[in-house]
Chain A
Amino acid sequence: MTGLRNRNISVSEASRPVMPRHARLKFDEVRQRWVILAPERVLAPDDIAVEILQLCDGVRSVDQMIDQLAAKYTADREAIGGDVIAMLQDLADKGFLTEVREKTS
């Protein structure tokens, strides 16, 4: 089997992150809030995390996400780019983001 492989991804502007199969973003109708469902855990992401996670479809690159957020909030692209990557990295480190596997690999 495999050796010591860190399962967490490293996020860059070229990354195309997506939530892994075992992490589900869901709107909890009873409690009227977004939740992330993961093995043995339920997490309550804040509005910013929810918005970012919704952009993570495995197709969109981080670069495109930053463009989209900069346009939506009429923010300076340079200013928010670093924050978005940091946030995505944090989500990835917690196991809620992965990258689409290339078919050729």
Chain B
Amino acid sequence: MSPTLTDTSPVVADPTDGLAIMEQRGSTAETFGIPLAVLAELTHRCPLQCPYCSNPVELERGGAELTTEEWKKILAELAEIGVLQIHFSGGEPTARKDLAELVQHASDVGLYSNLITSAVMLTREKLKALADAGLCHVQISFQGNEPTVANRVAGLKNAHEKKIEVARWTRELDLPLTVNAVMHRQNLHQLADIIQMAVDLDADRLEVANVQYYGWALKNRAALMPTIEQIEETSRIVEEASIRLKGILAIDYVVPDYYALRPKKCMGGWGRQFFNISPSGKILPCHAAETITGLEFESVRSNHSIAWIWQNSEAFNRYRGTGWMPEPCQSCEFKEIDFGGCRCQAFALTGDAGNTDPACTLSPMHEQIFKMAETEAAADNSRFIYRNFAGGTLEPDGNDGA
């Protein structure tokens, strides 16, 4: 008599994931069950200018954003079709004045809500209002473990100090905290200290996420690409800390693609268990999907339901399952393990989203990509192109912090 807890995480690659359960139970969504969790990008506005931002290079302007009423209708619709968790993200979601109202609405319709934030716009009062509205979890991004590196990467003065303050309020309000640390060549030397910072902040989880190179990060690849030695050291540090901190801090580690052997199961497979909603209401298979040109994405402002878009739209069906795969994927024994890796990366590196992800050693381009990463890392060009609505601004020469 032992309880069985089947992990249905949409993040972790696990054969007993959400889809397996939904397929087995014969859900209303048939083959491609409705995702358990959805990412709501409320706005692309953000006071930070991180050079690896996951938003598209063509940011959506404030005027195009969905209204409060439109978001409320979406939240209700999501809950009704079987979505269980909503991640409020951005841009910076707290830039929306109606955030507490949206969190309250998520609670009212039965969604588990998570705030993914840079934290710099929060006051204790605002955070308390979100907690009172039923917010279940807070994830705060950190750019380093101390202000000099962190504020330069964020392109904002005093950002780090503010984040530390908000992280403390989060725990004082008894909200669980995840520290998200995006890692690259210019902050990987701080990893051990970032782990300690997460422990000191009483975080439950730490995400150590190596930069993934689409959109803004692709523009900044030369400034961000780690060396292979850094990656080896990173893996060693994460492994050691995961054991030492068992029961204290859970660490999720996202490995860098360019130095990987097998591609990641990106988004759990295209159109398989995840979608996100852009600030203007586009339903996307992943937050980088718009980097792939030639795909048209349907909007909640169309006359289609969200479930219809998920199940029937051309963009979701294009790379769904395994039928679209070329060789060497088609006959690969791992094709239902990694679902061919990442379509955005295949597009970024080969010009065709239907190609094998070059992160895979079986891709004819893998060796070339690996060499390129090594060369870029060795060249050590450290100037960032900061993310903004103007298409990016090159960091001033000799910048020592924003």
Q: How far is the CA of A91 from the CA of B3 in the complex (A)?
A: 8
Q: How far is the CA of A22 from the CA of B11 in the complex (A)?
A: 18
Q: Which residues on A sit within 8 Å (CB–CB) of B252?
A: 40
**Once the chains bind, are B202 and A2 in contact (CB under 8 Å)?**
yes
Q: How far is the CA of A85 from the CA of B25 in the complex (A)?
A: 31
Kindly identify which residue among B3, B12, B84 contacts A37, using a CB–CB cutoff of 8 Å: B84
Q: How far is the CA of A48 from the CA of B3 in the complex (A)?
A: 6
The digit string for B131-145, where 1 denotes a CB below 8 A from any CB of A, is 000001101000000
Query: Within residues 1 to 53 of chain B, which ones have a CB less than 8 A from any CB in chain A?
Result: 1-12, 18, 21-22, 25, 27-28, 33-34, 36-37
Query: Within residues 1 to 31 of chain A, which ones have a CB less than 8 A from any CB in chain B?
Result: 1-2, 4-8, 20-22, 24, 26, 28-31
Answer yes or no: A100 CB below 8 A from chain B CBs.
no
Known: A39-B136, A43-B7, A87-B1. 13 other contacts (CB 8 A): A4-B199, A4-B245, A22-B176, A30-B28, A35-B8, A37-B85, A41-B7, A42-B18, A42-B85, A45-B5, A83-B1, A90-B3, A94-B5
Q: How far is the CA of A83 from the CA of B1 in the complex (A)?
A: 6
Q: Which residues on A sit within 8 Å (CB–CB) of B5?
A: 36, 43-46, 49, 91, 94, 96
Closest residue of A by beta carbon distance from B110:
A26
30 intermolecular pairs with C-beta atoms under 8 Å apart: A1-B202, A4-B248, A6-B248, A20-B176, A21-B174, A22-B176, A24-B112, A24-B136, A26-B110, A28-B84, A30-B27, A30-B82, A31-B25, A31-B27, A31-B33, A35-B8, A37-B136, A40-B114, A41-B7, A41-B9, A42-B9, A44-B8, A44-B21, A45-B3, A45-B5, A49-B4, A80-B1, A83-B2, A94-B5, A96-B5
What is the interface size of chain B, counting residues whose CB is below 8 A from a CB of the partner?
46
**Once the chains bind, are B22 and A31 in contact (CB under 8 Å)?**
yes
Answer yes or no: A67 CB below 8 A from chain B CBs.
no
Answer yes or no: A63 CB below 8 A from chain B CBs.
no
Shortest Cβ distance from residue B211 to the other chain A in the assembled complex, whole angstroms:
19
**Once the chains bind, are B3 and A39 in contact (CB under 8 Å)?**
no
| A-B CB proximity, top 10 nearest | A30-B82, A49-B3, A22-B176, A37-B112, A46-B4, A39-B137, A44-B6, A83-B1, A42-B36, A6-B247
**Once the chains bind, are B176 and A5 in contact (CB under 8 Å)?**
no
Q: Which residues on A sit within 8 Å (CB–CB) of B243?
A: none
Answer yes or no: A52 CB below 8 A from chain B CBs.
yes
Q: Which residues of chain A have a CB within 8 Å of any CB of chain B?
A: 1-2, 4-8, 20-22, 24, 26, 28-33, 35-37, 39-46, 48-49, 52, 80, 83, 86-87, 90-91, 93-96
Answer yes or no: B254 CB below 8 A from chain A CBs.
no
Q: How many cross-chain pairs have Cβ atoms below 8 Å apart between A and B? A: 118
**Once the chains bind, are A39 and B21 in contact (CB under 8 Å)?**
no
Shortest Cβ distance from residue A87 to the other chain B in the assembled complex, whole angstroms:
5
Closest residue of B by beta carbon distance from A43:
B5
Q: Which residues of chain B have a CB within 8 Å of any CB of chain A?
A: 1-12, 18, 21-22, 25, 27-28, 33-34, 36-37, 81-82, 84-85, 110, 112, 114, 136-137, 139, 174-176, 178, 199-202, 204-205, 245, 247-248, 252
Q: Which residues on A sit within 8 Å (CB–CB) of B139?
A: 39
Q: How far is the CA of A20 from the CA of B39 in the complex (A)?
A: 24
Closest residue of B by beta carbon distance from A30:
B82
Interface-centre pick from A21, A30, A32, A49 (highest chain B CB count, 10 A): A30
Q: Which residues on A sit within 8 Å (CB–CB) of B33?
A: 31
Kindly identify which residue among A1, A31, A86 contacts B2, using a CB–CB cutoff of 8 Å: A86
Shortest Cβ distance from residue A9 to the other chain B in the assembled complex, whole angstroms:
11
**Once the chains bind, are B136 and A32 in contact (CB under 8 Å)?**
no
Closest residue of B by beta carbon distance from A50:
B3
Kindly identify which residue among A4, A36, A39, A44 contacts B114, using a CB–CB cutoff of 8 Å: A39
Shortest Cβ distance from residue A62 to the other chain B in the assembled complex, whole angstroms:
15
Q: Which residues on B sit within 8 Å (CB–CB) of A31?
A: 21-22, 25, 27, 33, 82
Q: How far is the CA of A105 from the CA of B313 in the complex (A)?
A: 56
Q: How far is the CA of A78 from the CA of B114 in the complex (A)?
A: 42
**Once the chains bind, are B176 and A87 in contact (CB under 8 Å)?**
no
Q: How far is the CA of A2 from the CA of B11 in the complex (A)?
A: 30
**Once the chains bind, are A22 and B136 in contact (CB under 8 Å)?**
yes
Q: Which residues on B sit within 8 Å (CB–CB) of A43?
A: 5-8
Q: Which residues on B sit within 8 Å (CB–CB) of A24?
A: 112, 136
Shortest Cβ distance from residue B178 to the other chain A in the assembled complex, whole angstroms:
6
Q: How far is the CA of A43 from the CA of B178 in the complex (A)?
A: 18
- Given contacts A1-B202, A21-B176, A39-B137, whether A30 and B3 have CB atoms under 8 Å apart is no
Shortest Cβ distance from residue B126 to the other chain A in the assembled complex, whole angstroms:
19
Q: How far is the CA of A40 from the CA of B241 in the complex (A)?
A: 21
- Given contacts A4-B199, A7-B247, A21-B175, whether A45 and B4 have CB atoms under 8 Å apart is yes
Q: How far is the CA of A78 from the CA of B338 in the complex (A)?
A: 47
